[in-house]
Amino acid sequence: MLRFKQFISEDMPYLDDEYEQSAEDKAFRAADLRQRFKSLDMARGNTPLKKIGEIGPYEIHHVPTEFVGGGSGYTYRQHHAVVTHKGNRVGTVTFSEEEPGPFGKGHLPKHLVSQHPLFQLSHSGKKAAVPGLPSHVYKMMAQHLNMPIVSGSRQSRGGQRVWTNLARMGKVSAINSQTGEHISHYNPDNPEHTKTAYPPTASGEQSGHYWYMVHHPES
């Protein structure tokens, strides 16, 4: 069930705002953000940004993109949240749209797969004007598109903070794609929930292997 793009986007340490980043990591992050904005500009052409709301001093804009896969004829749809501050683009979060299908022993409707939030360092972590800014963006996009958001099964410390904040803001469930085990209302302040959804690895770190978080837009 684990998608490579989820693993690579949610488990890269240079994206963790509290990770001790090297100069190379910071430069890579800045270049990644510039490239993402450039790709979005090319994809949307002359279509203006569509503002969908505000989070404190930040404005959130929705940019939908799609492309047809070579040979398969399948249309891939993505939804990008572009975050601006005083007219300047300072961050973006990308979500891939997935069709309904089986999930563990259950079923998911059409949903969004979260990829990593990427923000300028001056608007990341504790430097952001709104605490937990990426989590607020997730919640706004889920409500705007009326689709649940699903995490990858492994998350960096930064990714875990996003989902911890979401669980405190609204309904988040946790599902094990291998066993079908299900926590209908994940509570990050319940040690039994965190131990189940983020079991420690051999190295002692919490990976959340096979566990997916689902944020529900009605919450």
- pLDDT at residue 143 above 90? yes
- pLDDT at residue 74 above 70? yes
**Domain boundaries defined on the chain:** 4-215
Question: What pTM, to 2 d.p., does this model score?
Answer: 0.82
Instruction: Tell me the sheet residues that pair with 62.
Output: 50, 81
Q: Which of 80, 105, 216 is nearest to 150 (CA)?
A: 216
- pLDDT at residue 213 above 80? yes
Question: What is the band of 131 on the pLDDT scale with cuts at 50, 70, 90?
Answer: very high
Instruction: Tell me the sheet residues that pair with 153.
Output: none
Other C-beta atoms closer than 10 Å to the C-beta of 61 total: 17
Give the model confidence (pLDDT) of 81-125 as tens digits.
999 999 999 999 999 998 887 766 667 788 999 877 889 888 988
- Which DSSP category does 102 fall into? E
* 4-215: CATH class: alpha beta
Q: Which of 184, 179, 164, 9 is nearest to 95 (CA)?
A: 9
Exposure b/e, 186-206, CB count within 10 A at least 16 = b: bebeeeebbebbbeeeeeeeb
Q: Is the Cβ–Cβ distance between 124 and 137 less than 8 Å?
A: no
Taking CA 206 as the corner, what is the angle to CA 205 and CA 211, rounded to the nearest 5 degrees? 150
pLDDT, averaged across the chain: 80
Give the model confidence (pLDDT) of 154-163 as tens digits.
777 778 889 9
